[in-house]
Amino acid sequence: MGYHILIVDDNRIMREMVARAVQMSPLEIAGIHQAADGAQALDLLKKTWVDLVLLDINMPVMNGEQFLQALRADPALKSQLVIVVSTESSKTRIDRLKALGAGFIHKPFRPEELIRAVDAMTNLEAP
C-alpha cells in the first residue's frame, strides 16, 4: 500500500518537477494526482483518497490559502495533510498557513528538501 499525493499548482511544469521529486523519495507512491487550482483540488479530494497535498499559494480561481481554509472548514477533509510549496515570502502569510496546520517549503527547492518535508509530514500519520 502506497501514498497518494495531490500536487496543486497552476504551473504544469512546476507540477511535473514536484512529481519527479516525490518519485525520488523513499516513499512508496501509489498515485500522483494533479490540480491547477484550489477549486479543482477540492473537487478531486471529494472523489479521490489522497494522503498528502503539496500546495502552491499563488494561483487563479482559488488560491492556496483559500483552498486551505475551505479544506479545514470541511469536516470530511479537515485533517488532510498539506505541505505548501511556494515562493511566498510574507512571514505573516506563512504563519497563517502554518496556523492552519500546513508545512511549508520555499520554491525554488532542492529535491532533497521536498523529500525531507514529505517524509516528516507522512511519518506523522502512516496510510
User: Could you read off the pLDDT of 3-56 as tens digits, one per residue?
Assistant: 899 999 999 999 999 999 888 888 889 999 999 999 999 999 999 999 999 999
The whole domain housing 39 covers 3-48+59-122
Say which CATH number the domain at 77 has.
3.40.50.2300
Domain count across the chain: 1
Q: Which residue reads 532533497 in cell numbers?
A: 112
B/e letters for 73-89, b = 16+ CB within 10 Å, e = fewer, are: eeeeeeebbbbbbbebe
Q: Residue 78 falls within a domain, yes or no?
A: yes
Q: Which residue reads 497552476 in cell numbers?
A: 10
Q: Residue 53 falls within a domain, yes or no?
A: no
Percent of the chain at pLDDT exceeding 70 = 97
Would you put residue 74 in left (φ > 0), alpha (ψ -120 to 50) or beta? beta
pLDDT for 67-115, tens place per residue?
A: 999 999 999 999 999 999 998 888 999 999 999 999 999 988 888 888 8
